[in-house]
């Protein structure tokens, strides 16, 4: 499906920049933009040219907002229409969905995201999804070490504390649930390696977030030279899977390396071109598909899925066409239905003729509240805005 990705604030802008660096020109990425109040943060982006970066909020003086979410929301309400117009050169009316990427512990991105989501919903007949990068628990800890800036944010080694990060996140998650069709939180804490600081992890985590966005929204987009999927994934499949009530969704992804089948010559000597691809051992194909599906389901997701259950589940299996065993995929769907308790499993396939791995994408929506989200919401005892 064709999406327009908008990075908001420091973290969102850097992730959008990473997405452009790694995936610009791919069919799914119809447009990509970065909006921020901080001119220095925008200037640091390397893959997004000036025409795709936009500073808003003259009242902020070109600097960040120092965690003041109230100020961020005020700027968002004032500048939402302006930001909507800033997308015009990338023909946003052709996008099948908008994806807002935001570090919800901050003020600029978290402040503007709800207002921009409402503006886009008014202007275009396309759903708005939010990819919410959660702050770590250390960021609001007054005893935390000084390098606790979130992935994507500037860090000078002695950066300021972010005592409001979890409270900002709680308020922004609530607002995004009200204003966007679905919220996909990314639990930064869970993706840090043992002993790794956020400053150390920044580039790696930004790459993971960008890759997950590309995996989900790029799965159904192919060019004319690729093999046509047997079960085409389109925008309506994603919309049915995540719903439109602002529910939390979790995304799992896994791959299993395989040996690409070699082409066999019709004369058996490989001298006069190929006729048919070499057949893949059935048991090997079944094993690869099964392993990828189980890893994507039970492995580390963008956010924890309590007890693995979900109201709705989407499964996409991709890789070299010869390895996409239909019986194995059907069995994987049955296993996934039992694992998640979902009444129905939506599915699609994503053939990659030159691929070297079988991969699986598992999107679950309508999940029980993850523990990390519960902790963040608890930072505001009465959960008021």
Report pLDDT digits (tens) over 8-50: 999 999 999 999 999 999 999 999 999 999 999 999 999 999 9
The whole-angstrom distance between residue 170's C-alpha and the CA centroid of its chain comes to 19
Q: What integer is the mean pLDDT of 173-180?
A: 97
Q: Tally DSSP H helices, then E strands, for the chain.
A: 11, 12
Enumerate the domain spans of the chain: 3-218, 249-365
- Beta-carbon contacts of 225 under 8 Å, excluding residues fewer than 6 positions away, are none
HSE-CB at 337 with a 13 A cutoff on CA atoms is 11
C-alpha to C-alpha distance for 126 and 89, rounded to whole angstroms = 18
Domain spanning 3-218: CATH superfamily: Tubulin/FtsZ, GTPase domain (3.40.50.1440)
Eight-state DSSP code of residue 67: T
CA angle 68, 74, 79 (to 5 degrees): 125
Is domain 249-365 in CATH 3.40.50.970, yes or no?
A: no
Look at residue 275 and give its three-state secondary structure: strand
Q: 307 or 231, which is more confident?
A: 307
DSSP summary character for residue 304? -
Mean pLDDT of the chain: 88
Distance CA 14, CA 206 (A): 7
Residue 199 main-chain phi, psi, to 5 deg = -60, -40
pLDDT > 90? residue 335: yes
Task: Give whole-number Cα distances, 252 to 131, 294, 300, in Å.
Answer: 14, 10, 7
Least confident of 84-88, 147-151, 196-200, 204-208: 147-151
pLDDT band at 182 (very low <50, low <70, confident <90, very high): very high
Among residues 134, 144, 70, which one has the least CA distance to residue 102?
134
Strand 128-134 versus strand 3-8 pairing type? unpaired
What is the structure's pLDDT at 21?
97
Is 139 labelled as part of a ligand binding site? yes
- Among 58, 48, 56, 51, smallest CA distance to 23 is for 48
Q: Is 153 annotated as a binding residue?
A: no
What pLDDT, in 10s, does the model give residues 96-133? 999 999 999 999 999 999 999 999 999 999 999 999 99
Could you give the CA distance from residue 189 to residue 191 in angstroms, rounded to a whole number? Answer: 6
Residue 296 confidence (pLDDT) above 50: yes
State phi, psi for 203 to the nearest 5 degrees.
-65, -40
Taking residues 312-317, report their average pLDDT: 96
Q: How far apart are CA 312 and CA 243, in angstroms?
A: 8
Beta strands 97-103; 53-55: pairing state: unpaired
Report d(CA 301, CA 304) in Å as an integer.
6
């Amino acid at each position: 499906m064709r999406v327009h990705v908008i990075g908001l604030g420091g973290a969102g802008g850097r992730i959008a920049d990473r997405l452009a660096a790694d995936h610009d020109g791919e069919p799914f990425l119809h447009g990509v933009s970065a909006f921020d109040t901080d001119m220095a943060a925008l200037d640091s982006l390397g893959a997004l040219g000036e025409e795709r970066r936009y500073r808003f909020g003259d009242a902020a003086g070109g600097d960040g907002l120092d965690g003041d979410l109230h100020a961020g929301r005020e700027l968002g309400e004032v500048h939402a229409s302006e930001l909507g117009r800033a997308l015009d050169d990338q023909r946003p009316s052709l996008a099948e969905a908008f994806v807002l990427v935001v570090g919800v512990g901050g003020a600029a991105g978290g402040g503007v995201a709800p207002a921009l989501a409402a503006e886009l919903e008014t202007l275009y007949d396309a759903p708005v999804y939010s990819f919410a990068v959660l702050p770590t628990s250390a960021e609001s800890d007054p005893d935390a070490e000084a390098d606790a800036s979130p992935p994507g944010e500037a860090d000078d080694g002695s950066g300021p504390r972010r005592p409001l990060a979890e409270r900002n996140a709680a308020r922004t998650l609530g607002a995004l649930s009200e204003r966007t069709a679905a919220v996909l939180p990314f639990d930064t804490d869970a993706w840090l390696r043992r002993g790794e600081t956020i400053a150390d992890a920044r580039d790696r985590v930004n790459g993971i977030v960008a890759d997950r966005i590309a995996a989900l929204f790029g799965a159904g987009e192919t060019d004319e030279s690729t093999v046509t999927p047997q079960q085409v994934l389109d925008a309506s499949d994603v919309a049915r899977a995540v719903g439109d009530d602002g529910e939390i969704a979790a995304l799992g992804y896994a791959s299993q390396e395989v040996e690409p089948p070699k082409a066999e010559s019709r004369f058996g000597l490989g001298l006069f071109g190929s006729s048919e691809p070499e057949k893949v051992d059935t048991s090997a194909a079944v094993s690869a598909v099964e392993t990828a599906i189980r890893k994507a389901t039970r492995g580390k997701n963008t956010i924890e899925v309590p007890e693995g259950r979900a109201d709705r589940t989407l499964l996409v299996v991709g890789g070299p066409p010869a390895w996409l065993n239909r019986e194995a995929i059907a069995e994987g769907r049955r296993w996934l239905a039992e694992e998640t308790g979902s009444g129905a499993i939506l599915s699609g396939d994503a053939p990659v003729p030159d691929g070297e791995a079988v991969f699986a994408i598992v999107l679950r929506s309508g999940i029980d509240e993850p523990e990390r989200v519960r902790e963040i919401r608890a930072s505001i005892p009465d959960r008021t805005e």
